[in-house]
Every structure is written in C-alpha cells, then in structure tokens.
Structure 1
C-alpha cells in the first residue's frame, strides 16, 4: 500500500472552492483527497480538475443510492472525471451495484481514463447497533449486517468497501486481501471522536486490515494542519 502518508485520505469537507484551494495549498504533502457531497454540489467538476492538475488522487465520495438505471448514469458520468475511488451504497442492491461498476468503467474508457475502483458503503459510521435496530428496524447484529453488505458488494463485482475500522479485520478475513477497505472513523489518540461512533486510532486501523484511512478534522481543523498530518504519519510508522 505504500508509505503511511499515501494511506491517508484527507477530506475536503469545506463549503466551497476557495476554502478547498486553501487546504490544498496548506497541505501539499497530501497525495489523496476526498471530495464529498457539499463540495461537489457547490463546485462540481471544477475542483476535480484542480486536483488532477496537481497530480492528486481523488476519492469521489458521493454515496450513490438509487435504482439501477439512475446509478448507472451517475457512475458513468463520474467515471469520466478520472477519479480513483467512487462510492455507492451497498444497500442499493445487487442489480444497481453491478450497473454502477459497469457504467463507471464505460465512462472512464470514453474519456481515456483509468476506471475508478467502485467501493460500497456498508453502513455509515455514525450508525451504531442501537440505531440500526431501533431507528432503521434492521433486526440483525451490526457486524452481521456489515459483513453481508460487503459480501454483496464483492459478489456484484465491486472491489472494495467503506467500513468502520472496527469491522476491518472481519471483512479482511471474509473478503480477502484484494478487496480494499477504506475506513473513516479514524482518530488519533489526541483528537476527539466527533460524530464517529465506531472510531479507532490510525495505527490500530491499519493493523486491523484497513488499506486507506479517511482522516479529516484532526488534520484540517488543527492549528497547524501540516504538523498534524506529519504527526499521524509518524504514529503510523512512516
């Protein structure tokens, strides 16, 4: 997977292009950036082009969840941007997941880009076992549900999943080493958990089997973002 710095994906969780550019300038050592819903809705592909011009890797985290035809159209369009990772919800079902995978590759091919690795969101890390049972009325253990969503994604042709680091070791055993695990909910010991209910330290998450770690506020909201990023890399061992 490369060095510790290459395993960290930093979210551009800011409202607009100006704030995003400021973060890119403040953290030139970051190689992998996440663009989520807020920034993509406000800035669209403009920011993606800026990232590509800086030779950065892109995690387009839009978490598509719709009927197969709509999923295919959205993923085909996303594939044209040359992004590296693209998220869809596993709960959208096998037909939609298969359509998403095929369409993303088609979009990339049409633009002469490498196809993105489409990965499935198993369960949002803000949802704990009580919320799964009480709010969503899903009467299975949280780990069983996450395992089933990952297996569904793999059976549908997807090549990875988003999961809490607490489920990484289970999914690594279940899905194998070639199935990438991207883990939000990662917080160094000196940072607050925020709204992540199933958090783990960066070193613990990698040891559990995570390929990539999504680490946002401990870096982007630090008094010195570059120093915070360097400290996390050091704690991970490189």
Structure 2
C-alpha cells in the first residue's frame, strides 16, 4: 500500500510554471504530483492531461464538499481525466462520501480530509464548534470515511497510528505537512520529517516548498526520497 515516491505539491499559479519545474527532472523519472486548487482553477483539466501524458501520477487535491448528487457528478468528470487519486471533505458526511465513491468508480483512489493540518485544536473548537479533542474529531471522521467505502484519509502523521488501529492496516493515511530536518514549517501547524512519517506508518507523504522552492529541486527531491525510503 505504501507509495515509495513522495508526492510533490505543484503549488504553482500556471501551467507554464509547472512545465518549467518538470523540465528540471529526467524525462524517465515518473513522479507523483499533487495538483491543488490554485493550479487547477488557473489551468483547468489541461494541467492534469499534460502531466498524465508524461507518465506521471496525479493526486487531484480539490477537497470536494457539496450535496451528494453534485459531488457524484463532479467525480464522474474527474474519473474521465484519469486521476490516480482525489479527495473530499469528510465533513460532507456519509451520504456525500458514498456518492463520491460511486461517481469516481474504483479505478482511482478516493480519500477524505479529516481536519486540515493547518488547524489547531483551539481553532477547531472556536470556529467549528466541535468541542471534542482534535484527535477525537480526526478519528471520528476516519471511521466515517471507512464506513463510506473510501480508501483512506488525509491526516497529520501524528494521527496515523490511532487511525490504522481504528480502521485497518491497509486504510490509506496520506500525510501533508512533511518537512525535512531544518526547514521552515510555513503555515502547517502539525509537521513531521519524512523519516518520522515512515516510522509511524504513513502510506503517502506530500511535500511542496522544500522541493519546489529549493535551489536544486531534483537534489531536494532525491534527498527526501532517500529519507522516506530509508536509503
């Protein structure tokens, strides 16, 4: 289940920037790339088609959250794009997540966001009026995600162990907020190194700026790949 390739977050504002970035990598290096809202809203489905043409894998990170029928219809469109993985917000509920699964089909992985890694417990309690602990909220959402037939969740690496225990060992835990030793945490509140994420059982890790803004992105990627795979 574990993906050896760190997922690179393509946090760029245009397809041209993506092309420039990908040109820094050998043509035979098949990457796993995250396309988020900024890039998808700027470049549209074309950016997915472009990177898929070069044999890269795509995690389309749009975090859908709407009425079940709308999400189901949107997922049918994303399935036609051939994305390898996409996601919804678990807060959309059981019915919405089940509808998303039906719309996407089984050829692509579907995961759900529990609580964003930028959210602290204090913020969750004040802004969402969820008065449990952050860990309890994440675990509740993970169980509902499993019940809806999804493949896993986006979560902090700190929550992986308890989620696996409460669901199953093959339930995907994708962890953003990964930073190599010594790099700035940026706007992420709950962060971990690639090696720590591996030790704790993460299946996928997502890394953005430490690669995309590095002086040598290829070298930065290879170093993180080695840390993640314990080379």
Maintained 8 Å contact 2:2/2:203: no
Kept after mapping to 2: 8 A contact 1:10/1:30: no
Q: Which residue of 1 aligns with 2:98?
A: 98
Q: Structure 2 residue aligned with 1:122, among 114, 119, 123?
A: 114
* Residues 94-141 of structure 1 deviation map (CA, whole Å, 9 limit, x = unaligned): 110000000111xxxxxxxx7211100011110011111122221011
Q: How big is the shift at 1:234?
A: 2.4
The answer for the alignment partner of 2:148 in structure 1 is: 156
| Cα offset, 1:30, TM superposition | 5.3
Instruction: Work out whether residues 63 and 121 of structure 1, in 8 Å CA contact, stay in contact via their aligned partners in 2.
Output: yes
Aligned to 1:62: 62
Give the TM-score taking structure 2 as reference length: 0.95
Over residues 157-212 of structure 1, what are the superposed CA-to-partner deviations in whole Å (9 max), with x where a residue is unaligned? 10111001111111121111211111001111121100000001111111111100
CA deviation after TM superposition for structure 1 residue 229, in Å: 1.0
The RMSD of aligned alpha carbons is: 1.3
Q: Which residue of 2 aligns with 1:38?
A: 38
After superposition, the Cα gap between the structure-2 partners of 1:2 and 1:167, relative to the gap in structure 1 and judged at 3 Å, is closer
Q: Kindly report which structure 2 residues correspond to 1:204-223, keeping only aligned pairs within 5 A, or say none.
A: 204-223=196-215
CA distances 1:45-100 after superposition (whole Å, capped 9, x unpaired): 11111111111110000000001011111111111111111110000001100000
For residue 19 of structure 1, the aligned residue among 8, 12, 17 is 17
Paired with 1:143 and 1:218, the residues of 2 have a C-alpha distance of 27
| Counterparts of 2:40 and 2:170, CA distance in 1 | 29
Higher relative contact order (CA 8 A, sep 6+): 2
